[in-house]
Amino acid sequence: MSNALYRDLKKLAEQTEKNADFSNDNYRLNFHLMPPVGWLNDPNGLCKMGEYYHVFYQYSPFNADGGVKHWGHYRSKDLLTWEQMPIIMYPDQPFDVHGVYSGSALIENDKMYLYYTGNVKLDGNFDYVNSGREHNTVLAVSSDGVSVDYKKLLMKNTDYPENLTLHVRDPKVFKYENKYYMVQGARTKQDKGVLLVFESENKFDWKHINTISTNETFGYMWECPDLFYLDGMWFLVCSPQGVKKQGNHYQNIYSCGYFPLYGDFRNEYKLGEFQELDFGFDFYAPQTFTDGQRYFMLGWFGMPDADYKNPTENWQHCLTSLCTLKRSGKTIYRYPVIEINKLRGKEIKPQDATVFDLEYRCSQSGRIIIRNALVIEWSEDLLSITHINGGNGRNTRKVDVSNINFLRILADTSAVEIFINGGEKVLSTRYYPKDTGIVLPEHGNANIWEMKSLNIVKD
């Protein structure tokens, strides 16, 4: 499928990627996926088709401050060597001309069905909430997972239930009991975040069958929803906007977490208590997928509209480490995929650590200082991270957690992920350190490995 707009955009994007020169940039990531150039946000269309894992992502190659979104693409057979692929979708149709927004993949009979939101913003004096915007549900079909055979407009704002603003987006599609289901995030006219559930027999015709929400308003909009059955329980993940700060919770401008869902998402249901997925500064819009064996989660290592920034030029943001999910009671544990261990090089001394993987079996309280930039401190039931140098506007975040006995810290050039007790709680933050070395408490038992880079293959 191609038209003149597609062809010109493709040519421009390829030139822009080719001309990008980051040879003097120490903040490009070693083992996190990042944009070849320009801006990245949400992971999209995560799936395994045949022997390839596919990671698509919101990508603006021409504008490192955001801009018109395309779908960038990486694929891998082993989660360690990643091919940087051509952009799979350009904003080249009247129904997606201002952005190929977020969405998901369904794989069936070796075909990739990509569902996404086509964003259109009209010119004029609009509020873009109740007027001036189209959020179209679009299906793009790909036979090879590399290019799109065709795009088809499935639903537009007038096809959605009543009482909604024009904010309806981010379809996540899955098959269950021989039918197809699509969940979308939406903002009602009363500014309440809700989840719309659609059903289909054939992947093309969709019917709204349920709307899921909390009794009390929990944010005005739920972005990037996901609904999945993990180890015997349904979970609804979303990124709510507008949740008020409360103790050590919801410290970022927007939140991200999950509700256990009891009952039937198609009918009578009850949502359990919301739990946050991350307590750092930079984690948003995660998406899950399964290869039939494991459940994976990948997130955006960023936060929209935050007042802290990244000091990088001509590129912004990256994706988180790929994690597997496990359930324990009503809690989802999130932990790096085992493949990441293969990036471990030799064991190193604390004073030599720059890009590293640290496992630390700890006692009740302690403090770790990373590269004279980030202080991690914990006591019986609290862990905090504080940027002391190079936080670029980031300061402190805290998480309530008891019986801290094990920390895993993955530190890339400009990104740190802290997994507490095997992924019970996680904190992710970008940072911009200048010094080398980490300071560990005297007690405890640490292993530190130097980390090798992902193998990124460009053609």
Residue 161 to residue 455: CA distance in whole angstroms: 46
- Least distance between ligand FRU and beta carbon 289 (Å): 17
Minimum distance, C-beta of residue 249 to ligand FRU, in the bound complex (Å): 20
For residue 300, which of 282, 313, 276 has the smallest C-alpha distance?
A: 282
Asked if residue 298 binds ligand FRU (CB under 6 A), the reply is no
Dist. CA 378–CA 375, nearest whole Å? 10
> What is the per-residue binding string for ligand FRU in 35-74, x denoting contact by CB under 6 A?
------xx---------------x----------x-----
For ligand FRU, the binding residue among 87, 285, 362, 385 (CB under 6 A) is 285
Which tokens hold the place of 75? 């694929």
Size of the site for ligand FRU (CB under 6 A): 14
Q: Which is nearer to ligand FRU, 286 or 423 (CB)?
A: 286
Q: Which is nearer to ligand FRU, 60 or 312 (CB)?
A: 60
Q: Which long-range contacts (CB under 8 A, 24 or more apart) does 10-14 make?
A: 10/86, 10/87, 10/90, 12/62, 13/61, 13/62, 13/70, 13/87, 13/90, 14/86
Q: For residues 184 and 324, which CB has a smaller minimum distance to ligand FRU in the complex?
A: 184
Q: Quick one: 36 or 193, whose CB is closer to ligand FRU?
A: 193
Contacts of 392 (CB under 8 A, 6+ apart): 308, 309, 310, 311, 430, 431, 432
The nearer residue to ligand FRU, 285 or 420, going by C-beta atoms, is 285
Q: Say how far apart CA 379 and CA 286 lie, in whole Å.
A: 29
Of 101, 228, 259, 301, the one binding ligand FRU (CB under 6 A) is 101
Choose between 90 and 101: whose C-beta lies nearer to ligand FRU: 101
Q: Residues 153 to 182: which contact ligand FRU by CB under 6 A?
A: 169-170
Task: State in angstroms the smallest separation of the CB of 152 from ligand FRU.
Answer: 19
CA angle 99, 104, 109 (to 5 degrees): 125
30, 117, 316, 429: residue in contact with ligand FRU (rule CB under 6 A) = 117
Judged by CB under 6 A, does residue 241 bind ligand FRU?
A: no
Give the nearer residue to ligand FRU in terms of CB position, either 271 or 285: 285
Would you count residue 226 as binding ligand FRU (CB under 6 A)?
A: no
Amino acid at 305: D
> How far apart are CB 44 and ligand FRU at their closest, in Å?
8
Our finding on whether 301 is near ligand FRU (CB under 6 A) is no
> Would you call 145 helix, strand, or coil by DSSP?
coil
* CB 232, CB 306: distance < 8 Å: no
Please report the DSSP string for 166-184 in residue order: EEEEEEEEEEETTEEEEEE
Q: How far is the CB of 115 from ligand FRU (least distance, A)?
A: 12
Sheet with 406-411, side-by-side order of all strands: 344-347, 445-451, 356-361, 406-411, 415-420, 425-430
Can residue 387 be called a binding residue for ligand FRU (CB under 6 A)?
no
**Would you call 56 helix, strand, or coil by DSSP?**
strand
Q: Using the rule CB under 6 A, which residue among 224, 271, 277, 451 binds ligand FRU?
A: 224
Give the DSSP letter of residue 305: T
92 binds ligand FRU (CB under 6 A): no
Any residues with CB less than 8 A from the CB of 435 and at least 6 apart, and which?
A: 371, 372, 373, 389
151 sits near ligand FRU (criterion: CB under 6 A): no
303-362: which residues touch ligand FRU (CB under 6 A)?
A: 304
Query: Residue 89 or residue 438: which is nearer to ligand FRU going by CB?
Result: 89
Cα distances (Å, whole numbers) of residue 103 to 47, 139, 447: 12, 10, 39
Site membership for ligand FRU, residue 278 (CB under 6 A): no
- Residue 420 binding ligand FRU, by CB under 6 A: no
Residue among 42, 92, 226, 282 flagged as catalytic: 42
Q: Identify whether 42 is a catalytic site residue.
A: yes
**Which tokens is 341 given?**
């261990």
- Contact positions vs ligand FRU (CB under 6 A): 41-42, 58, 69, 101-102, 117, 169-170, 223-224, 284-285, 304
Residues tagged active-site: 42
